């Protein structure tokens, strides 16, 4: 069952909001998995969420993650996970600058992998819900 969203701009907006929610849930889940959810505070979570959301929105358009004809094509589901893996080092660098802390490479790798898997799942769901757009539709 496809949602009645025919406008490419509205589809893009829905994807962007969904992507932000996925980055937020990934951030909160990370703090919860490390037993720091209660003690972290909003500013500390923001110091992870904002840099990784920023990095996602810088990198993902370069891989066509918001192009109408690609977001509903199963053969293009590799794009969001790859974009997440490529965005993670930038997110980790921005986070390190924000916190005035060293960049931990393993954190970037893990965050990229987890975020990539979560975005893959969200985009798979979005692909099932959004109508197919004609090639060249923007």
Per residue, the 3-state secondary structure of the chain, as one string, reads CCCCCCCHHHHHHHHHHHHHHHHHHHHHHHHHHCCCHHHHHHHHHHHHHHHHHHHHHHHHHHHCCCCHHHHCCHHHCCHHHHHHHHHHHHHHHHHHHHHCCCCCHHHHHHHHHHHHHHHHHHHHHHHHHCCCCCCCCC
Tell me what pLDDT residue 54 has.
98
Mean pLDDT (the chain) is: 88
Tell me what pLDDT residue 4 has.
54
Arithmetic mean of pLDDT, 121-136: 76
For residue range 4-26, list pLDDT tens digits in order: 556 678 888 999 999 999 999 99
What percentage of the chain exceeds 70 in pLDDT? 89
Tell me what pLDDT residue 23 has.
98
Which positions ≥6 away from 125 have C-beta within 8 Å? Answer: none
For residue range 94-116, list pLDDT tens digits in order: 999 999 999 999 999 999 999 99
Would the pLDDT of 38 be above 80?
no
Tell me what pLDDT residue 40 has.
74
Would the pLDDT of 137 be above 80?
no
Question: Is residue 132 very low, low, confident or very high in pLDDT (cuts 50, 70, 90)?
Answer: low
């Amino acid at each position: 069952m496809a949602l009645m969203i025919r406008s490419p701009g509205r589809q893009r907006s829905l994807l962007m909001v969904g992507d932000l929610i996925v980055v937020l849930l990934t951030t909160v889940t990370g703090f919860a998995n490390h037993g720091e959810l209660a003690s972290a505070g909003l500013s500390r979570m923001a110091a992870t969420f904002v840099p990784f959301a920023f990095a996602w929105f810088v990198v993902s358009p370069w891989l066509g993650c918001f192009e109408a004809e690609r977001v509903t094509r199963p053969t293009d589901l590799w794009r969001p996970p790859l974009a997440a893996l490529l965005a993670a080092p930038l997110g980790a660098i921005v986070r390190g600058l924000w916190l005035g802390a060293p960049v931990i490479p393993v954190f970037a790798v893990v965050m990229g992998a987890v975020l990539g898997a979560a975005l893959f799942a969200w985009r798979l769901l979005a692909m099932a819900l959004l109508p197919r757009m004609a090639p060249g539709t923007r």
